[in-house]
Amino acid sequence: MAVDVGGDRQVGRRAGHQRSRLWRAAQPAGLVCVDLACMAFTAASAGQVALRAGLAGILVVVVNGIGRVYALRVLPSGLDRGLWIAGAGLVAVLAAFWGTASFTVVALSALLFTFLTLCGRSVLCFLVRRAHRRGRVAPALVVGAGAHGRELARCLLAHPEYGLLPLGFLDETPGEGASPPVLGRPADVVQVVQALGVRAVIIAAPEHRPAARQARALGCEVFLAPELGELLVDFVTLREDVRSFPLLRMRREARHSVSWLLKRALDVSIAVTGLILSAPVLAICALLIRREVGPGPLFRQRRVGYLGEPIEVVKLRTLNPADAHESATLWSIAHDSRVGPVGRLLRRTSLDELPQLWNVLKGDMTIVGPRPERPHFVEEFSRAIPGYDGRHRMPVGITGWAQIHGLRGDTSIEDRARFDNHYVDRWTLRLDLKILLLTLGSLIRPGGS
């Protein structure tokens, strides 16, 4: 739920992040409840049994979820996505009432559901606006105290129904005597957000956009407010505004989405299945490695994982390094004469990567993600390549967007970093499935590493 800005700030600092998550869930949860209640009434009016009513409710929520009907809005309206809602109701009643009701009953039920839902949503939106006008608003910061930022802040102060109350600005210029005041510089966003219990940050100047990810990591809702006429608005779909000032809502961090849980479930399923099915292959590989390299078919190597945390990656041994320093700093052994026929076969077929399924099962790695690198090279590349550190925003993986484009082994690090960051920025579960299918295809024509 939203916080009362006039309340105790110390309490706001302690509970702000939790309230932000609750408020995120409250709006879509309320809309889902409206849809379910309206469908239950519709099904009862059509004389449907509880099982068919429940099926219709599930279907309408699923279809509306696909259509992003439950997406958060700064100022929700009861008429948002009205045509989609009508279509979802028709699909749900057709599928659930099939064989038990005439076409006339189905059509009338769809109309009744649409009417009830739009009315219910309008009532819910009215209650939200009323709560905002009574002070139940989200404390906000505007990053950028230029003319555009100040006009937007004045608009929000004059129209509390939008639920965003600007406490002040972050800007490089002090802005003495300004109201709302300039509370710090954009680089101070973490300290100001934590100190004031801020729950929303509006980026009103393009040069200050780096503050957006920092604010999002703290649990804030983050909006980009492009100026009217800015070229950006011709390339994106505008779904929200404040009195005709366009707003673009920043996507949630991947790890806070439902898809992230599904990604982990997929990882565990593949890892368990892969370890069971590959057990005989691993046993044969271990015997061959023992004959060619000696005892100890597995080796562990320190790598950098999610958010820069160190992990130990398990692989099949393809040669014995001279010492620990060589293991940590030798870039590639693709053409090393010490690698024998068995080692080359393991590398060419990627069988040496199979033990990393254990890392996936432990949670150190994921199936699809940026490849983990050794700390020595992470430090070196981070100094030389802008944005290289950004690839650690996602857990490291066995395969990934860069690998399926041939960027493995002795290839361009700049290209790898660009591909990895592109993957992190556009991550979806659908993209992971695409990469998995392309990886399977590449195994048919192995090219070594």
Question: Residues 359-415: pLDDT tens digits?
Answer: 999 999 999 999 999 999 999 999 999 889 889 999 999 999 999 998 887 788 999
In angstroms, the CA 252 to CA 188 distance is 21
Residue 167: is its pLDDT beyond 50?
yes
In angstroms, the CA 125 to CA 74 distance is 11
DSSP 449: -
Strand partners, 27: none
Share of the chain above pLDDT 90, in %: 49
* SS3 at position 93: helix
| Arithmetic mean of pLDDT, 241-262 | 87
Question: Residues 326-359: pLDDT tens digits?
Answer: 555 555 555 566 677 887 888 778 788 899 999 9
Which residue matches tokens 């780096």? 210
Backbone angles phi, psi at 447, to 5 degrees: -125, 5
Alpha helices, DSSP H, located in 67-102: 82-97
In angstroms, the CA 247 to CA 189 distance is 20
Residue 430: is its pLDDT beyond 50?
yes
pTM of the model: 0.74
Residue 33: is its pLDDT beyond 90?
yes
Question: Residues 172-229: pLDDT tens digits?
Answer: 887 766 778 999 999 999 999 999 989 999 999 878 878 998 899 888 999 999 988 8
Mean pLDDT of the chain: 85
12 confidence band (pLDDT: 50, 70, 90): very low
